[in-house]
Amino acid sequence: MPETSTQPGTAQPAAYTPTDRTVPTRAAKRAVYDRELVHSILDEGYVCHLGFVRDGAPVVLPTLYGRVGERLYVHGSTGSRPLRMTGQADPGLPVCLTVTHVDGLVLARSAFHHSMNYRSVVVHGIAHQVTDPDERRSALDALVDQVVPGRSSDSRPANARELAATAVIRLDLNEVSAKLRTGGPNDDPEDLALPHWTGVLPLTKGYGTPVPSGDLASGIEVPDYLASL
């Protein structure tokens, strides 16, 4: 595993270095290590799955994340088991974090060759609890803006009581890979004459019209950063 810690704003190579854990054993040609592409996949989402080992058994939790440079941040209650473990473990908690976007359902002539077009990122590393107050505040702002860009400056920041009840963990982007599938079905030649529809059913993410809270004061309009979604 790479040992070098990456800091926000530090110049980095154009690609992440492949490791034994980031080179897939299946469909390895779909793996990509381009830093810009990895960032674009991460920046398009806000839900990740965080995997770790608890009491000798694997646990995977869905949660929100935010990216700041070469770091990912995850937050939760100070009573949350994985967040407590990051503070207790030395030198931290080994984790695997994944993010996936499904772009289309690939319908082949045979059931075996049905597939999905997707973009995913897998991050391996050691998660550490963030204790620096300034970094914690920046991380929490990043988490809010990851979900709705611009929202952190249009809401009350966490107060001392809320900060005391919130833990934040940091995961450096050192051991990282992306994996993608694009294109249509890969039917076997002998199946090409079968009378079944085949192709791709695209999937897109969309936003509905913002619904105001029932106790919203009159005169407060939908902000531009929401209307633009």
Assigned CATH topology for domain 28-203: Pnp Oxidase; Chain A (2.30.110)
Q: What is the pLDDT of residues 92-104, one digit of tens each?
A: 899 999 999 999 9
Q: Which two tokens stand for residue 153?
A: 């400056």
DSSP category for residue 193: T
Read off φ and ψ for residue 125, nearest 5 degrees. 170, -170
DSSP category for residue 16: P
- Work out the average pLDDT over 52-63: 92
Alpha-carbon separation of residue 2 from 11, 126, 172, 179, 224 (angstroms): 16, 11, 10, 20, 42
Please say if the pLDDT value at position 201 is more than 90: yes
Q: What is the mean pLDDT of the chain?
A: 90
Q: What is the pLDDT of residues 111-154, one digit of tens each?
A: 999 999 999 999 999 999 998 989 999 999 999 999 999 999 99
Listed by start position, the domains of the chain span: 28-203
Q: Which residue has the higher pLDDT, 138 or 2?
A: 138
Please report the pLDDT score of residue 4 as a whole number. 39
Please report the pLDDT score of residue 100 as a whole number. 97
